[in-house]
Amino acid sequence: MTAVTGPAASAVDLLLLGRSSDPGSERGVSCPGELPAASSPDLVDRARAAKQALGEQLFVLGHHYQRDEVIEFADVTGDSFKLARDAAGRPGARYIVFCGVHFMAESADILTGADQQVILPDLAAGCSMADMAGIGQVEDAWDELVDAGVADGTVPVTYMNSTAAIKAFTGEHGGTVCTSSNAERALRWAFEQGERVLFMPDQHLGRNTAVLKLGLDLSDCVVYDPHKPGGGLTAAQLRAARMVLWRGHCSVHGRFSVSSVNEVRARIPDVNVLVHPECRHDVVTAADAVGSTEMIIATLDAAPSGSAWAVGTELNLVRRLAGAHPDKRIVFLDKSVCYCSTMNRIDLPHLVWALESLQAGAVVGRIQVDEQVARWARVGLDRMLALPG
Ligand code: SF4
């Protein structure tokens, strides 16, 4: 599977891609079925009825960034890694309906049995960050490291938010997958195996972890731009670097800025600014705390009544957290609306369509990872699971 090689797609691009065919991307395929109308008044009842009819055969996973109307039907919620593990822990479920994005459904398919089928209710629900690292681009980057004479001492570390093909490349080249919760452990392990890390595809998670957790200097990090010849780096720069960061980012978390932090501090006295490590380095250093989605949830659960929080992560989650903690003031860090446009593609009409199709015996939106790719990707995932605690 190859990925888009152009510059980062805008939210409008992603919405348009969902309506047409885009064989160069993991996302951007049209929905082949007849969706119920979004205005249909019986959607909730239909989803309930289909779920009940499918019973134990069905397991519905809901990522924290999904819409409320979808989360309502999730058997479990979580971040991408927790959900993949939850899927693996339900060998009795014949159908795993993954309400999230494409790379998450791929990981679930890799970690579940051959007799289980993973379904993404809208195949156009991709991830712009995952699309920023195509396998051909990564292989070219590795060739640059070989030419610079440093591939042997370089360990690839890839974030969960990547295609199965990139995870497989990582497994095959002695590296590990990581999440935002265990990126520090993954990097410490990688630096025991080699002297340099190729971190993909999120430059911000790589930089924030290397500098703030491992104590590396910003000057130890270089950015490899797949759209420039040689990644825009000289062989000498590759040799001198300890962290070679892929030029990728999350289009949601990348929007937060230091001015958002300053503005909320001026507006809300004693506010605590809590951000995700996919945010830019200057935003993370201006914040009071940084952590994964699960850490953000745990921090707000444990926060004292009356405390004030400005949270820099996806808006669906922040709104749900604000609703769950009426005794605390929880606001979104940015002034403008900041949903993940591809996560939001999974809505109630798509969920109803997927569930009713299953009820009628038709599997729609199945995600199936090539066997060879899955084998190596699993090596990368297993290395992550074996990381020292
Ligand atoms: S929030 Fe960012 S990383 Fe997550 S699916 Fe959306 S674009 Fe990808």
Cα–Cα distance for residue pair 371/275, rounded to 1 Å: 37
Angle at the Cα of 58 from the Cα atoms of 55 and 63, rounded to 5 degrees: 130
Could you identify the residue written with the tokens 């403008």?
Answer: 336
Distance of CA 289 to the CA centre of its chain: 20
Cα–Cα distance for residue pair 14/112, rounded to 1 Å: 29
Structure tokens at 230: 């040689």
Task: Judge contact between 249 and 279, C-beta under 8 A.
Answer: no
Q: Which long-range contacts (CB under 8 A, 24 or more apart) does 313-317 make?
A: 313/252, 313/253, 313/275, 313/276, 314/64, 314/65, 314/252, 314/253, 314/338, 314/339, 314/340, 314/343, 315/339, 316/64, 316/65, 316/66, 316/67, 316/68, 316/340, 316/343, 316/344, 317/64, 317/65, 317/293
**Low pLDDT (below 50) residues in the chain:** 1-24, 26, 28
- For the Cβ of 292 lying below 6 angstroms from any atom of ligand 1, the answer is no
Residue 121: partners with Cβ closer than 8 Å, 6 or more residues away: 97, 99, 346, 350, 351, 353, 354, 365
DSSP 209: I
pLDDT, residue 370, reads 96
pLDDT, residue 33, reads 67
Nearest alpha carbon, ligand 1 atom 3:
250
pLDDT, residue 152, reads 96
Structure tokens at 302: 């444990």
Distance (angstroms) between ligand 1 centre and the Cα of 42 equals: 30
Distance (angstroms) between ligand 1 centre and the Cα of 342 equals: 8
- For the Cβ of 128 lying below 6 angstroms from any atom of ligand 1, the answer is yes
**Which phi and psi angles does 63 have, rounded to 5°?**
-70, 150
Cα–Cα distance for residue pair 51/358, rounded to 1 Å: 10
Nearest-atom index, ligand 1, CA of 126: 5
- For the Cβ of 84 lying below 6 angstroms from any atom of ligand 1, the answer is no
Could you identify the residue written with the tokens 């590296």?
Answer: 175
pLDDT, residue 254, reads 94
**Which phi and psi angles does 156 have, rounded to 5°?**
-75, 135
Structure tokens at 296: 């953000």
Cα–Cα distance for residue pair 281/270, rounded to 1 Å: 22
Distance of CA 141 to the CA centre of its chain: 22
- For the Cβ of 252 lying below 6 angstroms from any atom of ligand 1, the answer is yes
Nearest-atom index, ligand 1, CA of 250: 2
The Cα-based distances of 34 to 129, 133, 320, 357, 367 in angstroms read 29, 32, 30, 10, 19
Structure tokens at 64: 């924290």
- For the Cβ of 317 lying below 6 angstroms from any atom of ligand 1, the answer is no
Cα–Cα distance for residue pair 377/169, rounded to 1 Å: 7
* pTM for this prediction: 0.90
Structure tokens at 2: 């190859």
- For the Cβ of 101 lying below 6 angstroms from any atom of ligand 1, the answer is yes
Task: Judge contact between 290 and 284, C-beta under 8 A.
Answer: yes
In which region does residue 81 sit, left (phi positive, over 0), alpha (psi from -120 to 50) or beta (all else)? alpha
pLDDT tens per residue, range 126-159: 999 999 999 999 999 999 999 999 999 999 999 9
Nearest-atom index, ligand 1, CA of 340: 6
pLDDT, residue 34, reads 80
